[in-house]
Chains A and B, each alone.
Chain A
Amino acid sequence: MPRNIIDVTDLTVEEIDQLISTAEDILANPAKYQDACAHKQLATLFFEPSTRTRLSFESAMLALGGSVLGFSEASSSSTSKGETVGDTVHTVSCYADIIAMRHPKEGAPFAAAQFSEVPIINAGDGGHNHPTQTLTDLLTIHREKGRLDGFTIGFCGDLKFGRTVHSLVNALSRYENVKFVLISPAELKLPRYVKEEALKKRGISYKQTESLEAVMPDLDILYMTRVQRERFFNEEDYLRLKDSYILTPEKLETAKADLSILHPLPRVNEISVAVDKDPRAAYWKQVKNGKFIRMALILKLLDIHV
């Protein structure tokens, strides 16, 4: 059975630490890894649009000396003819050594893994999970703070459909002394199952609030998210909630000097462009980190040691 990464908890804390260590080594010595995946092929199956995730996977594989095939929208695959996820993945696993897959339906990568002969990486499944974004977030936090424990992190915006939030809460709940502050409108609260499985079961306390300003001074990390139009069945609900939180330089006046601001991107207007110049903005570094942690993950799943 190939090793799959469907949920970030498919990796142990030790494995995550090892991936971060490998990513740091790749950042320091890129030439050492440039032929590590020679003659290996990555298939990127994106049934839903993506810029960063797909390109960072492709860039990661190319930087490892491998090659890439795949599609970037469902309409250019046989899905448009009614082919099931299982059949598509079974076919592609005959041509590629590893598959990164994004799909709008929750659980599609778990379904795909039942039919694949090669490792499957979940590159986002609807509003459910996004484990490689989480690995990117963890590498970024580690690079910014020098550790993955002992801080207060605020998640702000759409915590209901924000798959990156669900995965990161899950991942950070396994580290010591992390305090969680959940900032969202009532309609977009973190799903109960995430709170129960990741926080309550582990005896981790958390704070829920609708006011970003009220908790800003407490935060070491602020994880902003976009209210995602594509997750709403009802356009009215989206329009009512889309501008719930907009981060501006004024709102950051009460924040700590060493705050780190993360965002999985893309953003619409929830972080004002003026914040980009603030040294506490770490989201563009986060984009860059995504390539290196995915390189580390591809090496691990292909069992390639450099």
Chain B
Amino acid sequence: MNIDSIQNGVVLDHIQAGKSMDIYKYLHLDQLDCSVAIIKNVRSGRMGKKDIIKIDSPMDVDVDVLGYIDDKITVNIIRDGVRTEKRRLQPPKKLVNIIRCKNPRCITVAEPQLDAIFLLSDPERHVYRCAYCDTAKGKKKGV
């Protein structure tokens, strides 16, 4: 199966197989007017299988969202058909309004207009804690 190379845009590579639709939703790619290719189950020497997303338009990718969902993803910036930048991700230290606290006793549940703030408390296990009530949220496994 062949997908044409893009001239100016972004390629998200090394997405865990089966997770590309989660990324599509989290990055709101459905709102783009350009071509977006979601390629699933591509053979990968390192990963066995992987997903790839190609976005045929320059855009600012929310690396905090991507770093939270899967910090193994690589972000390739393409200009004039050439990769000009390859970004590796880190789990962000702070998440604002990306996930919500599920603790029914937390003030952010009672007052949802408050910013939902999570802080990275355990980088190895990818554990985030609500800045308000300390409730833990593990690595995102799906939407």
Instruction: Give chain A's interface residues, CB within 8 Å of chain B.
Output: 84-86, 103-108, 110-111, 114, 125-128, 192-193, 196-197
Contact = CB atoms under 8 A, between A and B. Distances in A.
B130 interface: yes
A110 B131 contact: yes
A106 B107 contact: yes
A127 B114 contact: no
Contacts of A197: 121, 134
B14 interface: no
A74 to B, nearest CB: 12
Interface residues of B, number: 20
Contact of B106 (A84, A85, A105): A105
A193 B130 CA distance: 11
Contact of A86 (B114, B122, B135): B114
Given A85-B111, A193-B136, A107 B131 contact: yes
B133 A107 contact: yes
Residue among B107, B115, B134 facing the most chain A CB atoms (10 A cut-off): B107
29 contacts: A84-B111, A84-B113, A85-B107, A103-B107, A104-B105, A105-B107, A105-B110, A106-B132, A106-B133, A107-B106, A107-B107, A107-B132, A110-B107, A110-B131, A110-B132, A111-B111, A111-B114, A111-B132, A114-B115, A125-B107, A126-B105, A127-B105, A128-B105, A128-B133, A193-B135, A193-B136, A196-B122, A197-B121, A197-B134
Interface string B99-127: 00001011110110111000001100000
Contact of A107 (B108, B121, B136): B108
Interface of B: 103, 105-108, 110-111, 113-115, 121-122, 129-136
Determine chain A's interface SS by DSSP, over half rule. Answer: mixed
A105 B105 contact: yes
Contacts of B136: 192-193
Contacts of B135: 193
B134 A128 contact: yes
Given A84-B113, A128-B133, A108 B107 contact: yes
Contacts of A84: 111, 113
Contacts of A126: 105, 133
Given A106-B105, A114-B115, A192-B136, 7 more contacts: A106-B132, A114-B114, A127-B105, A128-B134, A193-B134, A193-B136, A197-B134
Contacts of B108: 107, 111
Contacts, number: 53
Determine chain B's interface SS by DSSP, over half rule. Answer: loop
A197 B113 CA distance: 28
A192 B135 CA distance: 10
Of all A-B residue pairs in the complex, the 9 with the closest CB atoms, nearest first, are: A107-B132, A106-B133, A105-B107, A107-B133, A108-B107, A107-B107, A106-B105, A110-B132, A111-B107
A127 B114 CA distance: 20
Contacts of A114: 114-115
Contacts of B114: 86, 111, 114
B97 to A, nearest CB: 14
A275 to B, nearest CB: 32
A105 to B, nearest CB: 4
A212 B59 CA distance: 61
A86 to B, nearest CB: 7
Nearest to B117: A110
Nearest to B132: A107
Nearest to B115: A114
A84 B107 CA distance: 10
B64 to A, nearest CB: 20
A192 B125 CA distance: 14
Nearest to B101: A107
A84 B121 CA distance: 28
A190 to B, nearest CB: 13
Contacts of A125: 107
Contacts of A193: 129, 134-136
Residue among A125, A127, A193 facing the most chain B CB atoms (10 A cut-off): A193
